[in-house]
């Protein structure tokens, strides 16, 4: 079974910009059209202050399969 998901990667800032890095944070069901992930709990509201990247993929047999969809 193929299930669409959005992979969210968060920028981990550093005072030294060269040491800032992007780190996978979580996946969200479906293809999100938003610029930031949807916070579901109060503890996740701080997400809205962060910089995010997203990538569309599918879950196939509980494994992430990335494809270039041009979305």
Residue with tokens 């910009």: 17
CA distance 58 to 15: 35
pLDDT at site 11: 92
Task: Write down the pTM of the prediction.
Answer: 0.79
pLDDT at site 69: 56
pLDDT at site 68: 64
User: How confident is the model over 21-66, as pLDDT tens digits?
Assistant: 999 999 999 999 999 998 889 998 988 999 999 999 999 888 888 8
DSSP helix/strand/coil, 33: coil
pLDDT at site 70: 52
């Amino acid at each position: 079974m193929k299930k669409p998901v959005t992979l969210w990667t968060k920028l981990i800032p550093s005072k030294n910009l060269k040491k800032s890095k992007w780190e996978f944070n979580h996946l969200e069901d479906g293809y999100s059209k938003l610029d930031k992930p949807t916070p579901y709990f109060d503890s996740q509201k701080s997400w809205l202050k962060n910089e995010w990247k997203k990538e569309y993929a599918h879950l196939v047999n509980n494994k992430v399969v990335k494809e270039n969809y041009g979305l």
